Amino acid sequence: MSETLTMTRDAPMPWENRPVLKVEHVFMRFGGLIAVNDLSFSVGRGDITALIGPNGAGKTTVFNCITGFYKPTQGMLRLEHADGSTFLLERMPDFKISAKAKVARTFQNIRLFSGMTLLENLLVAQHNTLMLASGMTILGVLGLPGYRNAERKAVEKAKYWLEKTGLTARADDPAGDLPYGAQRRLEIARAMCTEPELLCLDEPAAGLNPRESAELNALLLGIRETEKTSILLIEHDMSVVMEISDHVIVLEYGTKIADGSPTEVRNDPRVIAAYLGVDDEEVEVVEETLDEIIEGAAT
């Protein structure tokens, strides 16, 4: 039903208009296992796009294909910058996807440089810019001023992102010492220091409490607003997905089962059956009981 919903719509969806990323007929096989099966979707420019689905549906595999950690068995991933330059991601090695195509990512099980300080983490993210400024190290060893200026700028940018993520006070602490929620934020700050065109977040709200999730929402909306970065995220926390995303894609067994606005997807019976498990009524009942309890406490 959802397919008919999206297929028969007359006007193209807003995200189909010059999308930042267009995934076309991507397959990913591991031996006999088909992890991603003929998947196509678009990530709208300046949108927050959510990729959801049951565990093991292939969401992280799609991420790994986009960021070059896997090469898709088949299919095309076309990334287009705002200035019109395009990149075929399936043909690029992973580090070039980040350096040239400007796709940054975070990881499901946080991968920070835990023995380095927050500031160092954010400077490593600006490696390529700094490397050029240091004249491929040679000028840097001699201590020429050109590099020092570049480093000052890099530190400024790091400070900007520390400020945005509320981590300034801990700038000189090792990343491994941060509490879980702060580590998640630092990972986003580090990705943003690469000045990405597309930011891919793998379960950014996992392990966060509702308050921290709300802060994350604010951070992501801010990134979209001020940096004009498009965001693609995998998330199970519906309070994040439904509140901030413009466009939701649902995967099951490596195939797309729904694609549309949050409201469309939330009401799609296939999505409810495969993923959400509760229909909206039940959610409302839960919220009502919660309200009742609280009201009871108040009186």
Partner 1 sequence: MTGQNGTPLLSVQGAKTYYGKIIALKGVDVDVHQGEIVTLIGANGAGKSTLMMTICGNPRAREGRILFEGRDITQMPTHEIARLRIAQSPEGRRIFPRMTVLENLQMGAALDKLAHFDEDVERMFTLFPRLKERVAQRGGTLSGGEQQMLAIARALMARPKLLMLDEPSLGLAPLIVKQIFDVIGELNRTEGLTVFLVEQNAYHALKLAHRGYVLVNGLVTMSGTGKELLQKPEIRAAYLEGGAH
Partner 2 sequence: MADAIAKRHGPDMSAAVKDALLSGLIALGLFGPLVGLRTEQNMRNELVVQGRWGLLASVIGVIVVGRFLLLTLVWPAMAARKERAGPASETPSAVRQAVSRWFAPTSLVFLFLYPVIIVSLLGFQGSLKWVDNFGIQILIYVMLGWGLNIVVGLAGLLDLGYVAFYAVGAYSYALLSSHFGLSFWILLPMAGIFAALWGILLGFPVLRLRGDYLAIVTLAFGEIIRLVLINWRELTNGSSGISSIPKITLFGIKFDASPDGFAKIMDLPISSAYYKIFLYYLILLLALLTAFVTIRLRKLPVGRAWEALREDEIACRSLGINTTNTKLTAFALGAMFAGFAGSFFAARQGFVSPESFTFMESAIIVAIVVLGGMGSMVGVALAAVAMIGGTELLRELAFLKTIFGDNFNPDQFRMLIFGLAMVGIMIWKPRGFVSSREPTIFLAERKTISGSLVKEGHG
Residues of the chain by 3-state class (helix, strand, coil), percent to 5: 45, 20, 30
Of these partners, partner 2, partner 1, none, which one is at the site of residue 59 (CB under 5 to 8 Å by kind)? Answer: partner 1
Of these partners, partner 2, partner 1, none, which one is at the site of residue 105 (CB under 5 to 8 Å by kind)? Answer: partner 2
Cα 187 to Cα 165: distance, rounded to the nearest angstrom: 10
State which H helix or E strand residue 79 sits in: strand 74-80
- Is residue 115 within the footprint of partner 1 (CB under 8 A)? no
- Is residue 146 within the footprint of partner 2 (CB under 8 A)? no
Q: What are the residues facing 24 on neighbouring strands?
A: 76
Piece of 33-41, 127-135, 241-249, 262-270 that binds partner 2 (CB under 8 A): 127-135
Q: In what order do the strands lie in the sheet with 33-43?
A: 33-43, 21-30, 74-80, 86-88
Task: Write the binding mask 264 to 283 for partner 1: x where contact by CB under 8 A, - elsewhere.
Answer: ----------xxxxx-----
Task: Give the SS3 label for residue 137.
Answer: coil
In the range 222-241, which residues lie near partner 1 by CB under 8 A? 236, 238-239
Cα 200 to Cα 67: distance, rounded to the nearest angstrom: 8
In the list 120, 212, 243, 264, the residue contacting partner 2 (rule: CB under 8 A) is 120
Axis-axis angle for helices 180-192, 145-164 (nearest 10): 130
Piece of 5-13, 151-159, 267-275, 279-287 that binds partner 2 (CB under 8 A): 151-159
- Is residue 95 within the footprint of partner 1 (CB under 8 A)? no
Between the alpha carbon of residue 275 and those of residues 47, 116, 252, the distances in Å are: 23, 39, 9
- Is residue 30 within the footprint of partner 2 (CB under 8 A)? no
Binding site for partner 1 (CB under 8 A): 30, 33, 52-61, 108-109, 179-182, 203, 206-215, 217-218, 236, 238-239, 274-278, 290, 293-294, 296-298
